[in-house]
Amino acid sequence: MSSQIRQNIQLIVAFFLVLFGGTAGYLYLEKGWSVLDALYMTVITITTIGYGEIHDLSPAGRIFTIILIFVGLGLAAVFVAQVTKVIIQSGIRNLYEKKKMYDKINKLKKHTIVCGYGKIGRAISLKLYELGLDFVVLDHNQERLAEAEQRGYKVLHGDGAVDGVLLSAGIRRADFIVLCINDDACNINISLAARELNSDIFIVVRGTDPSIEYRMLRAGANTVVYPLDLGGEQIGHILARHAGVAENEEAGPTAHEVMGYSLRIFPHYDNTPTTVGEVKVRTGAVNALVLHREDGTDIENPADDMELSYGDSVLELVKNDGAGCELKSDIKWSKDLILGIPFIDAEHRVLVRYAEDFQTALREGQDHEAVARLFDRLLEYTSSHFAREEAFMQKRGFPEIEKHMKEHRRITREVMELNRDKKYIFPDSIDSFLQDWIINHINTTDRKYVKFFKDEDK
């Protein structure tokens, strides 16, 4: 139990003790009073309302009333101080977080505004993040925005049809705005407002009813997209390709492959240090081009004896001859991962199963679309799991919640970076990361709050 909850309980107990003590005191000191009379006199005394004495008080009763007034004033002062403390702390924290977010948004130029963080908005935001493009997520739903912020996106709460909200999102500095709200009328209103505030902005609107597309175009939209139609077309292409009637999208080498060679990234997600030379041997690389340190510094043509720490990565030139890293270990659910909190254990089981599916896809050499889809599913579930876990810790008053949330942000940031570069990452690196992300996180970081709750419940 946290100190905050303990203080609140103590305050409530103290209030009822004073109420009981005052009632009992009047019943003892004043003859002929009923319980209701004594309780009423106690309430108006400790709240200092001052309606007057309901019956004439004896000298002992007057002295008792004086004592009760001072006790009531002290209790009221403590209560007011406690409530004020909570309000001020919460308000300052929220203002500070909002100011930091506004400062980040105010620095953006030529960015994209994504209105609506539903399924379509999530997919668009993820792709923009993978491409390294600046964007702001705008939504009126605080829970959805919390999930977006968890992933490291810049977010803004509000209605996109309100000029002030669009201006706060940097509409006049933005190059694009994507309206993916599942309501054509709302999209039309936002399109009108966006075009009025920035005549040069490129507006993409998610449509649901083709019969009113002309209205969206008249409202200022540059193009209208129908996700259901795109989904049906994509399914058709997949069926055609598997039936052997679709042409290959690329007849030659991929964009990142030249003359049988390509660039690959080896991020080091192992607590055991290694060297550039050891990485080259493990990956079968021809050469190490750049060593990227976690602090952001780059070392070109690093020597083989240079050491990598956790979070460092190496950009390598590899020959596409089928060689490369293999997965060293499997992510498997075991009783050692059970924490004893049913809903947390259930979500961890799902997390491990999604990791298993992803590893299976890598091991079987499934196509890039399938692997990317499984990794996105793993990322999606992890973000929502972290949010629910943090809400649980906050509700139970875990004192180290800020430190735990910081660890969640680190993992989410690293996942997003892997997701952005997933075409170039070695399976061995992802394997090491999954071990740290899931297994080590559960067995070390998560067990800290489990131990705290068990100690509190004793």
Q: How far is CA 230 from CA 208, 224, 227, in A?
A: 12, 12, 5
* Full domain range(s) for residue 264: 257-319
Q: Is residue 218 part of a domain?
A: yes
d(CA 385, CA 383): 5
431 and 360 inside one domain: yes
Domain count, the chain: 4
Residues near 31 by Cβ (< 8 Å), separated by ≥ 6?
A: none
As given in the structure block, the two tokens for residue 185 are 């009328």
User: pLDDT tens across 412-453, in order?
Assistant: 777 777 666 555 565 556 666 777 778 878 888 898 888 888
In terms of DSSP bridges, do strands 274-275 and 261-267 run parallel, antiparallel, or are they unpaired?
A: unpaired
When mean pLDDT is compared across 61-65, 205-209, 212-216, the lowest value belongs to 212-216
Question: Among 71, 99, 127, which residue terminates a domain?
Answer: 99
- What average pLDDT does the segment 1-10 reach? 67
**pLDDT, the chain, mean:** 79
CATH number for the domain harbouring residue 188: 3.40.50.720
Question: Among 216, 231, 246, which residue terminates a domain?
Answer: 231
Q: Is residue 283 part of a domain?
A: yes
Are the beta carbons of 203 and 221 closer than 8 angstroms? yes
Q: Specify the pLDDT at position 114.
A: 93
**Full-model pTM:** 0.50
| Upper half-sphere CA count for residue 138 (Cβ side, 13 Å) | 30
Q: Is residue 327 part of a domain?
A: no
Task: Report residue 198's pLDDT band, with 50, 70 and 90 as the boundaries.
Answer: very high
Q: Specify the pLDDT at position 176.
A: 92
93 and 112 inside one domain: no
60 and 151 inside one domain: no
Q: Is residue 435 part of a domain?
A: yes
> Alpha-carbon dihedral of residues 218, 222, 227, 230, nearest 10 degrees?
120
Q: Is residue 65 part of a domain?
A: yes
User: pLDDT tens across 92-136, in order?
Assistant: 656 667 788 888 999 999 999 999 998 888 888 888 887 788 999
384 and 412 inside one domain: yes
Q: Is residue 27 part of a domain?
A: yes
79 and 112 inside one domain: no
185 and 140 inside one domain: yes
Q: Is residue 389 part of a domain?
A: yes
94 and 112 inside one domain: no
User: pLDDT tens across 61-95, in order?
Assistant: 888 888 888 887 787 777 777 777 666 655 565 66
Q: Is residue 62 part of a domain?
A: yes
Task: Report residue 12's pLDDT band, with 50, 70 and 90 as the boundaries.
Answer: confident
d(CA 245, CA 265): 35
124 and 38 inside one domain: no
46 and 125 inside one domain: no
CATH number for the domain harbouring residue 21: 1.10.287.70
114 and 213 inside one domain: yes
Q: Specify the pLDDT at position 250.
A: 43
With a cut of 50, say whether residue 254 has pLDDT above it: no
